[in-house]
Amino acid sequence: MTVTPPATTHLAPAPTAPATTAPWTDLLAAATDDCLAALLKGADQDWSHPAHSLDWTCRQTLDHLALGLMGYTGLLIARPDDRYITLFASLDPQAPVPACLDGLRIAASLLTSTVRDTTAEARAWHPWGHSDATGFAAMGITELAVHTYDITRALGLTWTPPDDLSTAVLARLFPDAPAGHTPSDALLWCTGRIPLPGLPRRADWQWDGTVR
């Protein structure tokens, strides 16, 4: 999807996010395929190096990603009002990277299925805003996109989040995303990965998962 950026650079509200979960399951599945394909290209490299801009290694970042996707799945199923779930998931620390990527695909597939099966009225707690199924799908896509960026950068691979995924995520989770930039650059700025012209790199950030 090609997006023509506006001529000016300013902070402006993003467009309203889609209300139905159907496009979000498609987007989440597409994000999973794209990110796993990018990560697989570096599977034979040294994943003990720090991931780009993080204190974690590439391997630890992958484990965090699996934990996050499973966590969002659990929140959508349990639907707590004021707490995180007690189920944690992790990848086998002794498994080779390609096998860990299989585990990551399982986690992403479980989140996708749960989003598809969750009613539009359902809400669950998250520290960055009680959210619905579309919100948790957007969170999953954001986790996949930014941490794939972190890992591929550390491994010397060229990859950026696709613009169609970035556009949807910005609309749903980052209502004050900066206009005048490509969607992928705006997402990377919103999540503290890069500076933009006139906008220094963010030291602190969070999304807004509340239903709007």
d(CA 20, CA 79): 19
Of 159, 157, 155, the residue nearest 48 (C-alpha): 155
pLDDT at 116: 96
pLDDT at 20: 60
The pTM score is 0.89
132 in Cβ contact with 120 (< 8 Å): yes
CATH number of the domain bearing residue 118 = 1.20.120.450
Could you list the residue range(s) of the whole structural domain that residue 117 is in? 23-190
Residue 107 belongs to some domain of the structure: yes
Residue 16 belongs to some domain of the structure: no
Residue 200 belongs to some domain of the structure: no
Residue 149 belongs to some domain of the structure: yes
Work out the number of other CB atoms within 10 angstroms of the CB of residue 51. Answer: 23
Residue 48 belongs to some domain of the structure: yes
Residue 11 belongs to some domain of the structure: no
Percent of the chain clearing pLDDT 70 (strictly above): 90
For 140-184, write each residue's pLDDT tens digit. Answer: 999 999 999 999 999 999 999 999 999 999 999 999 999 999 999
pLDDT at 10: 38
Residue 197 belongs to some domain of the structure: no
Cα-only R_g, the chain: 16
d(CA 205, CA 141): 17
Low-confidence ranges of the chain (pLDDT < 50): 1-19
Structurally, how many domains does the chain consist of?
1
Residue 83 belongs to some domain of the structure: yes
Q: Could you tell me the CA-to-CA distances from 22 to 16, 27, 77, 114, 199 in Å, in that order?
A: 16, 9, 18, 12, 34
The rounded mean pLDDT for the chain is 91
